Chains A and B, each alone.
Chain A
């Protein structure tokens, strides 16, 4: 048994390694810089394939809004290059390094393979909305590609989307092409202080139902703000409803004026200028309010109908020992859970989410808890079965990141059928 860590420098080398693993029946831990190892169940594999050295931007055409990069390219490098051309990744992939207690922010491959997204999620989508094409190696030891290097393409199945969000369990991605967009010249935050959760969510709902084109709407209860405060940022001891406006100077100013006109009487607010707004939204996107691993070792992201957010938040408050905040215009409820009774709390919350109509994803929890709850509690039996079949169709020997998303070894569902497709 080899516990070696391999760092291929070309797709060909990665391919040879996978072919060896297939032939020898070895399992492979597929990684970038391994900064998000805390996501999913712990992977115990025979060897490690790190894509760290498969690094670099291959093509970048700002006027075509397209970039092609190798998976191991550091996020910092991607961001620097885009900034030179006043562009950005509109889905705002967050840095989850604090959440997983590592130094490095990780790679572009990691941002896509985890289908990351930030506060602009409700407007600009997540990584899956920006992936255009991939090259990859499947668990049969074959290279395959999908999509293209243009921003509009419906040729064949959208395989790139399946790989996005697969956390390295379907294929080893060796090249990614994705959409890049102009960065807004001006960004401002409107911080409204002290609204109750009911009024805060109502304000978010009101703002998004106007043509103000906000690109961020979050609500943080006092506890969430205090948590950021412990981290060095200085905020008042009040709840925060945060609104982000982006665009040209004049337009941002006009929209800010409109929104302040709708605030409840006597309500306290302040305008966050460019740098302050960027800093605040980055704290929210990076889940800063929940990062304290001592207080809330468990972290869930709940996607839910925004109108149900307030009710679910109240349910969570009653469980005690949980911190939460709302992002993505109420479409995401991030929850931090204390150690005591974590499994039961996750069960209770995810059951409630399932009833409401939504999805729970566990971002951080002790392994023993994740073994009990799974990474996606309540996926539904047919969805679970289809997920297993999809895994099998790419990786029939279950060699890539085995067990990371599906807790038990399931009997391999064969690609049965005698017909032709």
Chain B
């Protein structure tokens, strides 16, 4: 994996930087001790570690702006960090850079039921937003599995998804406004408590930009009224093909479930052993789905789904009869990752998306790869939107296994692109997948993206070494190469 050359000048200026930072921030907000810095050495992709030069924990947007201006002036790199739950190394520190933690931005600023939105500081957790509004029957829809700890600012940076995003959209479809600070120290407000901001969709480009364009300090999200009813169904199938056919059948029938997940045999067993959710362990493939909405509609749809499942050879059908049962059905799925962590020293979670029609082919190829690398793999799958989460089991203490797991993962992602899919459905490119970007984008595609980086951060100081495999200078990207001019192509029709 390519890492950036260390900037020795930055390391030499460390003391001067600390002195300046302490004039901006309270002493306890500037972390310099080796032991305390080590807390920040990794995010949820623990295979990669790097102790940062310094960590700062500002408390106000004005402080963030001043810190960034200082870093700009002293030419110091900055890695923004929410709760550090990135699965792609998005918050992996730099030896010559500071980590700017947003943990102190932990207040909900406004709950506005009249305008159906919540304004929160960026370090507020995803779940805390729902907690703040649920007494009036509202919730915040995107629900990444890490929602207890992951921050809303991190969700915006990564454009996080969750099991409900097929019906309710990703973060980008639920965020209405942000306050962010650019590397220049300028505080920008994009959007707000209204639908269509003026001009180019800057909110759209910043969402999912993985902390490379600005430091997000405040977020306005829309909240939705909870559905009247939600019921979960467990559907067991004799093989992956039948399960896939059932998912396609449900969607072709015009039903968009609130969530629709698939698990393979290995994942089913691991989850069942771990939480005893009542999964049929003898089924080679399991579909979990949830239907929500007005009571009468849910009842009708459940019967329709039951018929579709039966026609796809379902060998097991269970419908939740109570809220408790619904939660238990989901508990198995949500525990799939920790369950595998329980039976293997480490696991490496992939995140490619494929056209669903390629599912059977892709699962077969993954099985072949599993044999080739000698590493087991469990498949958990957001079936509605084709987002695969193969979990490769390995032992990180064995350097050879780690390398094999990485190669295996890269092969899976290249396969996803090969069948018409993409590298990442919801975890982001980060540090982990930057070298795979050329599998999906050519040089011109990547340069066009990097020109957006130049608009916001021309010196490339914000979260460098993520997303892009090759580094370009903005001045070079800005040059206009004129192709040899000639009279318009004579064959182009005109009138």
Contacts and interface: CB of A to CB of B under 8 A. Distances in A.
Interface in B156-170: 158-159, 161, 165-166, 169-170
Most buried by B among A16, A158, A162: A158
A213 to B, nearest CB: 6
B421 to A, nearest CB: 5
A416 B494 contact: no
B306 to A, nearest CB: 15
B473 A420 contact: yes
B482 interface: yes
Contacts of B425: 150, 152-154
Contacts of B397: none
Nearest to A157: B449
For chain B, give the interface size range.
Answer: 35 or more
B471 A421 contact: yes
A211 B449 contact: no
Interface string B467-491: 1100111110110111111111101
A146 B445 contact: yes
B293 A393 contact: no
Interface in B428-460: 428-429, 433, 437, 440-441, 444-460
A165 B201 contact: yes
B453 to A, nearest CB: 4
A389 B444 CA distance: 19
B294 A211 contact: yes
Nearest to A156: B449
B198 A376 contact: yes
Interface string B19-42: 000000000000000000000000
B475 A247 contact: no
B385 A151 contact: yes
Interface string A43-64: 0000100000100000001111
Given A154-B424, A159-B452, A125 B169 contact: yes
B445 A358 contact: no
A303 B420 CA distance: 37
A273 interface: no
Given A142-B444, A213-B227, A418-B473, A303 B196 contact: yes
Nearest to A182: B254
Contact of A361 (B198, B294, B453): B198
B386 interface: yes
B492 A417 contact: no
A140 B296 contact: no
Contact of A13 (B188, B189, B355, B492): B492
B252 interface: yes
B422 A155 contact: yes
Given A20-B486, A150-B421, A182-B256, A166 B200 contact: yes
A378 B194 CA distance: 15
B486 A417 contact: no
B137 interface: yes
Contacts of A384: 199
B357 interface: yes
Contacts of A410: none
Given A213-B293, A420-B471, A6 B353 contact: no
Interface in B39-62: none
A22 B475 contact: no
A275 interface: no
A63 B245 CA distance: 10
Nearest to B201: A161
16 contacts: A19-B483, A128-B201, A155-B424, A155-B433, A158-B172, A162-B200, A165-B201, A248-B301, A251-B300, A305-B112, A306-B115, A307-B112, A357-B194, A359-B196, A393-B451, A421-B453
Interface of B: 112-116, 136-137, 158-159, 161, 165-166, 169-170, 172-173, 186, 188-190, 192-202, 204-205, 207-209, 212, 225-228, 248-249, 251-256, 293-297, 300-301, 353-357, 382, 385-387, 420-429, 433, 437, 440-441, 444-461, 464, 467-468, 471-475, 477-478, 480-489, 491-495
